[in-house]
Structure 1
Amino acid sequence: MLHQGISIMLAPVLVFQGLKVRRTTPRLPEPEGKRVGQTGSNPALNLLILGDSAAAGVGVTNQQHALLGQIIEQLSPQLEFSYALFAKTGSTTATTLQALHERIDTAHPILSQKHYDVIVTSLGVNDITSSISCDKWLQQQKQLLELITQRYKPKLILVTALPPLGLFPVLPNPLRWSLGQRANQFNRQLQQLLIKLNQQVNQPTDFRLIKLPLDNPQPDITMLEFMRQVMATDGFHPGAPIYSAWANLVVEQIVGGIKSAAIE
């Protein structure tokens, strides 16, 4: 593809910019707050969030304002459910696979559970900023999705698309452009993978891609400036508005896709 050829030519610049961003960007902590619990006394659904620093809620100070907390706030008026969050800053698809293999037969309070009705994944940013190829990443994603499907028998897996790295304020050009193009490529291939998984015979799990609708409602400012307003102070992680919008999409999928089946 054209952007791959251009990125190869720009490789020395991209490497220099990438190292500088890593060196100068502040490392935000994971938010405080419960990662395991339930709403109400009779949960009708089990939810697992699995992933990286965004899944963990980096960018806000408390889980209440992160993805998990916003899902709880938006879904609990409609449905009682139990929840668990297994996420860590720096996680890649490969390291998450490794963690699942290491702890799958142990007494881990989250990963040793027998069943989750809904699993939300957020993995890829740390992959895409490395040198991994799209084909290798897709292979790892396929292994991950097949493993959690076999292990937890979920009704629904919501796979979060890679965010628009081409709009991340902390990234200088041409690094921003290059990572943005790479993210678009990975997302296109990820969508095709989910289509193939859904086409498998006797597949009880529904795989869906979640892509945040980051539209600028303020025509008097640029998209880049809008992103500065809704992202965390580091210009790399989601801010509270993005976590709220992300949770809204998750809740819409749960309520529309499996709520009735879960209550039966």
Structure 2
Amino acid sequence: MLHKGISLLLAPLLLLQGLQVRRTTPRLAEPKGERMGQTGDNPSLSVLILGDSAALGVGVDNQQDALLGQVIHHLKPFGELSFSLFAKTGATTASTLQTLEKNLHGKHPILSQAHFDIIITSLGVNDVTSSISCDTWLDQQEQLFKLLTQRYSPTHILVTAVPPLGLFPALPNPLRWILGQRATRFNQALQQLLLILGQQTGKPGFGQLNHPTRFSLINLPLDKPSSETSMLAFMRQVMAVDGFHPGPQIYTAWAKRITEEIKRDNG
């Protein structure tokens, strides 16, 4: 691929730009608020959000404005629910897999739970910005989905696509372009994986026969309101001050997109 050849040619520059971004990008605090609880005495739906700093809600001050709070808000029409958030800044697919395998059968207040109806994942940014190959990442994603399906028997796993790194204001070119190309390639492979896994659930060795799991790829809705505004300028408006994490507007749109997919399973 063209971007691979360019990456090799520009490797020293890309390395310097990456180091510069790490030095100059402000580190935002994790949002305050509960990461586990329920909205009533008799929850009929259980939700787990799993992933990285975006899943955690970095970019806003309170969980109410983060993905978790917005998902809870938009799922109100479905009745009472229980919710859990397990996310960590810097998390990769591999590190999340390791943590899950270590805590699944222990006494972890979240990961040791027996079942979740809905699982929402947000992983990939820290993989794309690393040196991992797309094939290796895809294998790790498949391991993760199989583990989640076999352990929690969810009815629906909503997989957040890698966001458009090619539009992140914090990244200078050509690093921004290279990472954007990688993100696109990773997402294309991920979409194909989910199609395959969706056909396999309910079969021996994958998921539960009586509780097949549906997989959905969630692309962030980033439609700029005006043709006069460039996408990069629009992203500066809707992202957090660090130019790397979602702002409140993106978290709200992300939660709405997730809710739309869940509605398909609930009429």
TM-score by length of 2: 0.95
- Correspondence 1:229 to 2:234: no
Shift, 1:201, TM fit? 5.9
* Residue matched to 1:202: 202
Where does 1:185-196 land on structure 2 (aligned, <5 Å)?
Answer: 185-196=185-196
- Correspondence 1:65 to 2:65: yes
Change in 2 beyond 3 A, CA 1:201/1:82: closer
Q: SS of 1:256's equivalent?
A: helix
* Residue matched to 2:171: 171
* Residue pair 2:3, 2:181 contacting (<8 A) in 1 also: yes
* Percentage of pairs with the same residue: 66
Q: SS of 2:115's equivalent?
A: coil
- Correspondence 1:101 to 2:101: yes
- Give, in whole Å, the separation in 2 of the partners of 1:205 and 1:134: 24
The one-character-per-residue Cα deviations of 1:220-257 (angstroms, maximum 9, x if unpaired) are 22111100000000000000000000000111112222
- Give, in whole Å, the separation in 1 of the partners of 2:179 and 2:113: 36
From 247, 256, 263, the equivalent of 1:248 is 256
**Structure 2 counterpart of 1:251, one-letter code:** T
**Structure 2 counterpart of 1:93, one-letter code:** T
- Correspondence 1:123 to 2:123: yes
Q: SS of 2:121's equivalent?
A: strand
Structure 1 unaligned segments of length 5 or more: list them: none
Structure 2 unaligned segments of length 5 or more: list them: 204-211
Q: SS of 2:186's equivalent?
A: helix
**Structure 1 counterpart of 2:93, one-letter code:** T
- Correspondence 1:238 to 2:246: yes
* Residue matched to 2:78: 78
The one-character-per-residue Cα deviations of 1:183-202 (angstroms, maximum 9, x if unpaired) are 00000000000011011163
Where does 1:18-167 land on structure 2 (aligned, <5 Å)?
Answer: 18-167=18-167
RMSD of aligned residue pairs (Cα, Å): 1.0
The one-character-per-residue Cα deviations of 1:145-173 (angstroms, maximum 9, x if unpaired) are 00010000000000000000000001000
Change in 2 beyond 3 A, CA 1:255/1:79: farther
Shift, 1:213, TM fit? 1.8
Q: SS of 1:179's equivalent?
A: helix
- Correspondence 1:3 to 2:3: yes
- Give, in whole Å, the separation in 2 of the partners of 1:256 and 1:239: 27
**Structure 1 counterpart of 2:239, one-letter code:** M
- Give, in whole Å, the separation in 2 of the partners of 1:119 and 1:168: 26
- Give, in whole Å, the separation in 1 of the partners of 2:102 and 2:44: 29
